[in-house]
Amino acid sequence: GSGSGKSTLLQLIIGLTRPTSGEVWIDGREISQLDEDELDDVRLHMGMVFQYSALFDSMSVGDNVAFGLREHTKLSEEEIAAKVAEKLELVGLKGMEKVMPHELSGGMKKRVSLARALAFEPKTVLYDEPSSGLDPIMTNKINELIIETQKKLQVTSVVVTHDMASACRIADRIAM
For residue range 94-135, list pLDDT tens digits in order.
999 999 999 998 888 888 998 998 898 888 888 888 888 778
* pLDDT category of residue 1 using cuts at 50, 70 and 90: very low
pLDDT of 2 strictly over 60: no
**pLDDT tens profile 14-30:** 888 888 888 888 888 88
Q: What is the pTM of this model?
A: 0.79
* pLDDT category of residue 65 using cuts at 50, 70 and 90: very high
- In SS3 terms, the chain reads as CCHHHHHHHHHHHCCCCCCCCCCCEECCEEHHHCCHHHHHHHHCCEEEECCCCCCCCCCCHHHHHHHHHHHHCCCCHHHHHHHHHHHHHHCCCCCCCCCCHHHCCHHHHHHHHHHHHHCCCCCEEEEECCCCCCCHHHHHHHHHHHHHHHHHHCCEEEEECCCHHHHHHHCCCCCC
Q: In whole numbers, what is the pLDDT of the chain averaged over residues?
A: 85
* pLDDT category of residue 62 using cuts at 50, 70 and 90: very high
pLDDT at 48: 83
Tell me which of 82 and 1 has the higher pLDDT. 82
pLDDT at 7: 56
